[in-house]
Chain A
C-alpha cells in the first residue's frame, strides 16, 4: 500500500518508517507489518483439520468467522509446544489467518532505510518466511512476509497426498 502511494503521489515525501508488530517465537524476535494485523488475543484452538497442512493447528471461531490458526513454530521448523499461544490475527489477500506466537513484544516504527532485505543466514522453511532483517537494540528482528508464510502451507499437503 505504501509503495503504491509513493508511486501515485510522487510529490509527497515517502514514508520514513513502517510500523511493525513484534513477537517472540522459539526465543527469537520476529515482526509482521502492523497494518495487516486485526487483533491479538490469547486462546486455544478447538477444531483440528485432519489431513490439513501440519502448520495449521486448527480452526478458530472468530465471531462467526472461520479462521485457520497457523502455528509459527511448526511453520518455521521449530520444536512445537502444546501450550495455548498468542493469536495474531491478520488479513492478507482477502483471507483472514491467525499466527500463533509465543509472546507479543511491541509495536514499533522501523525506519525503512534500516531494513536489510537480503536474507541473513536462514534457510529452509524458516528462511522462506523471512522478508528482511532489522538490527534492534537487543539483537536481530526478522520481518516475516505473510504471503510467503501462506504460500508455504500448501507444499507439505501435496507431499502427503502423493505419499
Chain B
C-alpha cells in the first residue's frame, strides 16, 4: 500500500465518523434551528470533506459537497431558514457522500453514479428557501459572524443588516419583535457560555446583534421587552479587540482529540489475551510459592509480599484491559435520531425521540449484535406504537408521540428500555390470535393475565398489525429479536397498557468475554456450563424410596418428576460417549443440572458439580463449533483446557422435545398465582439468625479481608473491578457492628435497583420455604417481618435499610481504611 492509499483510508475512517455525527447534528438542528454551534459544526464537517476530496481528486464528492456547503453557508449566514425541504436534501447529501465513500473504499474510485441531480436539488432548495424568505418576514438568525474583522473597533458596517431587512420599509410590527428575541437570547447565551476570557470572542458576535436591535427599534415601537442587557464585561471590554478568530470551541475539540488515540482493535485483543496469560501465570506462581514454602516450612515473607503485589497489580491490569473492550451504547443509539426521523416522515407521524444513558458501556463485540434487534424495536415503536397525530389529538394526547430510549446498568447487566406513549398492544387481539394459532386453548387464554398474553408477540409468525407496511407488520421480527438477544445470553420482556403505550425491556450481558459458569464433571472429564441457562441443581440419590427425585422411563427416554412435572433427562456421559450407560437395574446417581432456555427445559445429569466461577470464554475452531455441542472453551486456573457446553445444542443432539408454548404460559400463570417465597437464612457476625428474601439475592461471595476499604463514610469492597458498598447485617438491624476478625469475609450480594450492595454475614445456613407467609406485624427497624424456620421465629431483613446512604452507616471497626 502506498502513502496515498494510507491517507485515503484515514480520510475514509474519519469521514465515516463525521457522517454519523452529521446525521445526528442535522436531526438535532431540525429540532432547534437556532443552534449556531451545531450549524457551524455541520458546516465545518462538510467543508472538510469537500477540501479533502479536492486534494485526492474525487470530483463528484467535491461537487456535491460544494453545493451542500453553499446551502449550509446560506443557512449559517441567515439567508435561508431550515425547514423540512432543507433538512431532507441535506440528509440526502449525507447519504450520497456515504455511498461515494463506500464506493471509494471498495473500488478506489467514485463509481458510475452521477450525483448531478443532487447538486442541482441542493442549489434549487437553497434558491427556493431564499425566495420563500424574501416573500416572508424578517428572521434574524445570524448568530456567528462569518469572520472576525481584523480591527472591529468601529461599529460594524450597516450593509448586511439592511440586506436582511425586508424590501418593505415599513415592516409589520407584530412580526418583527417576536423574531428579534433570537439574537438577544443568542447573545446572552454566548456570554454565558464563554469560559475564561469573555471579551475577545463575545464582542464581535454581540455587536451586530446590538446594532440590529437598535435599528429595528427605530422602526417599531413595542420592543421594551426585548431590550438587550449588555453585561459590564462586554461594555467595558476594550475595543479594539485583538484580531483573532473566536477559537473557543475549536480548542475544546482538539483537547478532546488529544486525550484519545486510535488503536487497532486487533492490538487491543492481543492485549486482553496477554493479560489473560498473565493471570494464569500469576495463579501458577501463587500455587508454586505456596507449595514451596509449605514444603520447606519457611514463610519467606519477602517473597509472599512480592507475590501479593503481583496479584493486586494483575487484578487491576485485568480490570483495565477488560475496560478497553467496552464501548458506550451510543454507537448504536447514535443512528436512531435519523432512523426515527425518516420513519416518522414515511409514516406521517410526529415523534420526539429522547435518549438517556447513551454513555452506558458494554462489550464491543455485543454492540454489533444488538444493533439490529434494537433497530427493529425502535421501528416497531414508531410504526405500530405511536398513533398518527390526528388520532393522538382525538385521544387527548399531544400530537407528537414520545419515544424514549434508556440504557443503564443493573446487576452486572445492561438494560435497554424502549418506551413509547402510543396506543399500546391490543391484548385481546393477541389473545385471539394465540388461540387461532393453536398455541393455547380458549379457556387458558381467558385465564392468562395480560402480561403473559403479551409474550406471544415473540412467537414466530405472530403479528397483530392490521396492515402490513413497508416498515413492519409482516409477522417476522419480534421472534428474531428474541432469538438474537437470547443468543448472546440476554432476554426481552414486553409490557403494554392499551391507550398509554408500550415498553420493551432488553437485558444484555455486559460482556461475553467473561461469564459466570458452573464447572461440572463427568467421568474424568470436566466441562463448563454457562450459569445463565442453569435454573437449579438437584442431587440424584440412588435407591431412596419416596425421595422427591426419581428417574423414570417414558418410552425409553428418561424423565424425572420435578414438582409434579416431567423433566426430560440427558445423561451427559452417555451423550458424549464418555462411558457406558448405567448398568440396567443400577439406579443412576449424580447431579441433575436443570437447564432452561425459552424453547426447552431439561435436566443434564452429570457426575458432580465442582465449582461455580467466572470463566474467560475463548473461541474454538470452526470444525468444533460445527459439532453443535460446544460454545467455546476456557482455561482453568491450573492451565487445563475445559470445553464450554452449549445447552441448546445438547438439547438438540439429545432430541429433547421443545416445551409446548401452552406449558410455558400456563406454568408461568401457576407461578404467578402462588409465588413461592423463599428465604436465605444466614447468621450475622454477631450471631443472630436472620433471613433474606431470596429474590433480592444476586449471589453469595467470599473475599479476603484486605478488599474491604472505607470510602466516603461507607465500607466498600473491591470486587470484579467495581466498588460495592458493604454493610454489616447487624448494623441493618440497629445492632452493634462486629469487627472483621476472620481473614475471609462472606457476604450476600443484594441486587438493588441502584446497583449492588453487600451484606456481611458470618455464615450462610440454608434456603427455606416457610409454610406460612411472612408476618409483617412482627417488624422493627430493618426488619420486614418474621417467618417461622424449623419452629423458630426468624427475622426477615428489610433490604432497603441495607442500601448505602439510607441509614446512618456505622463504619465497621477492625478494618483500617
Q: Interface residues, chain A, CB within 8 Å of chain B?
A: 46-53, 56, 59-61, 63-66, 68, 95-97, 150, 153-154, 157
Contacts and interface: CB of A to CB of B under 8 A. Distances in A.
The SS class assigned to the B binding surface is: mixed
Given A64-B273, A65-B273, A66-B641, A50 B618 contact: no
A50 B276 contact: no
Contacts of A53: 623
A97 B621 CA distance: 8
Interface stretch (B47-55, B181-189, B624-632, B686-694): B624-632
A157 B578 CA distance: 16
Contacts of A51: 576-577, 627, 629
A66 B640 CA distance: 10
Given A63-B277, A64-B280, A68-B621, A50 B576 contact: yes
A61 B640 contact: yes
Nearest to A68: B621
B352 to A, nearest CB: 46
B620 A66 contact: yes
A96 B620 CA distance: 10
Given A48-B525, A50-B525, A66 B633 contact: yes
B635 interface: yes
Given A65-B273, A66-B619, A47 B642 contact: yes
Contact of A66 (B525, B576, B618): B618
B624 A52 contact: yes
Given A48-B525, A63-B277, A68 B577 contact: no
Contacts of A66: 618-620, 632-633, 635, 641
Contacts of B639: 61
Contact of A95 (B525, B618, B622): B622
30 contacts: A46-B640, A46-B641, A47-B633, A47-B643, A48-B525, A49-B630, A50-B577, A50-B578, A50-B629, A51-B577, A51-B627, A52-B623, A52-B627, A56-B623, A56-B624, A59-B633, A61-B639, A63-B277, A64-B274, A64-B277, A64-B618, A65-B273, A65-B618, A66-B633, A68-B620, A68-B621, A95-B621, A150-B623, A154-B623, A154-B626
Given A60-B641, A64-B635, A68-B623, 20 more contacts: A47-B633, A47-B643, A48-B525, A49-B624, A49-B630, A50-B576, A50-B577, A51-B577, A51-B627, A52-B623, A53-B623, A59-B620, A59-B643, A65-B618, A66-B619, A66-B632, A68-B620, A97-B621, A154-B626, A157-B626
A47 B618 contact: no
Interface residues of B, number: 28
B621 A47 contact: no
A49 B643 contact: yes
B640 A68 contact: no
B235 to A, nearest CB: 67
Most buried by A among B578, B626, B642: B626
A33 to B, nearest CB: 19
Nearest to B572: A50
A51 B625 CA distance: 12
Most buried by B among A48, A50, A52, A53: A50
Contacts, number: 68
A64 to B, nearest CB: 4
B574 to A, nearest CB: 11
A47 to B, nearest CB: 4
A159 to B, nearest CB: 13
* In the complex, the 4 A-B pairs of residues with the closest C-beta atoms, listed nearest first: A50-B576, A47-B641, A66-B633, A64-B277
Most buried by A among B277, B577, B643: B643
Interface in B607-664: 618-624, 626-627, 629-630, 632-633, 635, 639-643
Interface string B254-290: 0000000000000000000110110010000000000
A7 to B, nearest CB: 17
Contacts of A48: 525
B87 to A, nearest CB: 44
Contacts of A52: 623-624, 627
Contacts of A65: 273, 618
Contacts of A154: 623, 626
Nearest to B636: A61
B284 to A, nearest CB: 12
A103 B273 CA distance: 31
Nearest to B576: A50
A53 B622 CA distance: 12
A58 to B, nearest CB: 8
Contacts of B273: 64-65
Contacts of A64: 273-274, 276-277, 280, 618, 635
A108 to B, nearest CB: 29
A56 B625 CA distance: 13
Nearest to A53: B623
Contacts of A157: 623, 626-627
A51 B630 CA distance: 10
A163 B623 CA distance: 19
Contacts of A150: 623
Contacts of B578: 50
A49 B577 CA distance: 11
A97 to B, nearest CB: 7
A49 B627 CA distance: 10
Contacts of A47: 633, 640-643
Contact of B641 (A61, A96, A97): A61
A44 to B, nearest CB: 12
Contacts of A63: 277
Interface string B158-182: 0000000000000000000000000
A156 to B, nearest CB: 11
A2 B333 CA distance: 45
Nearest to B629: A51
B571 to A, nearest CB: 13
A48 B525 CA distance: 8
A59 to B, nearest CB: 4
